[in-house]
Amino acid sequence: MKILVIAPTPFFADRGTHIRILEESLALEKRGHQITIATYHIGRDIHSDVETNIDVRRIRRLLFWYKKLEAGPDWQKIFLDIMLIRKAFYLARTQKPDVIHGHLHEGVLIGWIVKKALFWRKMKLVADFHGSLTKEMASHSYLKGGILKKIFFEIEKWIDNLGDSALTSSEENTKDIAKLREDHNVTTVLDGVNLACYENNLSKIELKKEFELSLDKTIVTYAGALIFNKGIEYLMDAIPKVLEKNKNVYFVIAGFPIEDVTKFVKVNRLSENVRIISPLNYFDLPKVLMASDIGVDPKDSMTLQASGKILQYMAAGLPVVCFDRPNNRAYLGEGGEYSREISAVCLADSILSLANEPQKMEYKGQLNKQQIKKFSWDISAQKIEEIYNNI
């Protein structure tokens, strides 16, 4: 099939939303589909990192000053999305896709507008929701409450009902949207991992030497966006609590933007205990994780987003410290070290529980190495292809 992917984001940047869009597209391409991605004017060229025939088409650079790559709302995105409607309409008119695959609520809305404008083409729309729009905005402090939040929630409910079929990246989000959709038909398509990236690497000792990490310390790594709604504040507050009880733990924090984390490390005099890697190229992530001993994901359930980073930790054979969320349980099972409650104190206790018991750390890491075989992007692409065929 010809698939037009709507990506209302500066694709590609090294974060979860973009990884899902890229890996889904690559896996669908492997299954014989022709993929075009319509996106913003900024973002890294994927062809410099992967061999693919995916056609990435960008809007014009009229907002040439807009260079924001990190997640989060911005009023200027309204203009970017209007320009993206124009681009998507042109691509749909000239390429005549069978399916429009809209990512995020904005992408679904843009896809719906294009589908309606070209109704005689009988294109199908698949809505790929990554989380809750209203809860995402609230988590970035763009919405606090009152009438404005109610208006956005009504808009979100309406968009949740668009599309010939809907899919989400987490069981939590599926249940939430299934209640709102009139047909109650929502499919969970979990994130995957490219297992080939974790093969034929150097040993853990060799990788630790390459990154100049101590061979005698337990390396705890967080890789992802360094913003509030990813739970980074829980991790920051947990680090001193861990070091207070175990000086043999060393933290690696990889991602962007780094301003708040850098300030925290400096103010709390943690530079000897914390390494910040920024930017971290997504395609270099496997080596960093395979040099680590524990992976940590402090994301709570506020936005209903899945946690693709957990799968990367699992592929590297790491035990994972996280909060007790249904989606995390679905990924990890016994391979997770779950915090009793969502707090920095409990997160620190879970990190210490693993760091103080090397045998448990090794056992859970091996479990995850086996469990990850169930979560490949090929499996995700097969489920998406079934959705395409059904509609």
With contact defined as beta carbons under 8 Å apart, do 56 and 46 qualify? yes
CATH class in words for 2-192+376-390: alpha beta
- pLDDT score recorded for residue 303: 53
36: tokens are 């075009």
pLDDT at residue 279, rounded to an integer: 85
pLDDT at residue 133, as a whole number: 77
Query: Distance (Å, rounded) from C-alpha 389 to C-alpha 391?
Result: 6
- For the entire predicted model, the pTM comes to 0.88
- What is the three-state SS of 194-257? CHHHHCCCCCHHHHHHHCCCCCCCEEEEEECCCCHHHCHHHHHHHHHHHHHHCCCEEEEEECCC
Q: Contact at 8 Å (CB) between 6 and 84?
A: yes
Q: Kindly give the pairing relationship between strand 294-297 and strand 320-323.
A: parallel
Boundaries of CATH 3.40.50.2000 in the chain?
2-192+376-390, 195-374
pLDDT of residue 140: 58
Look at residues 309, 319, 298 and name the one whose alpha carbon lies nearest to residue 370.
319
Fold of 195-374: Rossmann fold (3.40.50)
Looking at residue 229, what is its pLDDT?
67
- pLDDT recorded at residue 302: 63
In whole angstroms, what is the distance from residue 74 CA to residue 96 CA?
Answer: 31
Encode the chain (391 residues) as per-residue pLDDT tens digits.
Answer: 999 999 999 999 988 899 999 999 999 999 999 999 999 999 999 999 999 999 999 999 999 999 998 877 788 999 999 999 999 999 999 999 999 999 999 999 999 999 999 999 999 999 999 888 777 766 656 666 678 878 888 999 999 999 999 999 888 889 999 998 988 889 999 899 988 889 877 899 999 999 999 999 999 999 988 877 678 999 999 999 999 999 999 999 999 889 999 999 999 999 999 999 998 899 999 999 999 999 999 988 665 566 789 999 999 999 999 999 888 998 999 999 999 999 999 999 999 999 999 999 999 999 999 999 998 899 999 999 999 999 9
pLDDT of residue 71: 77
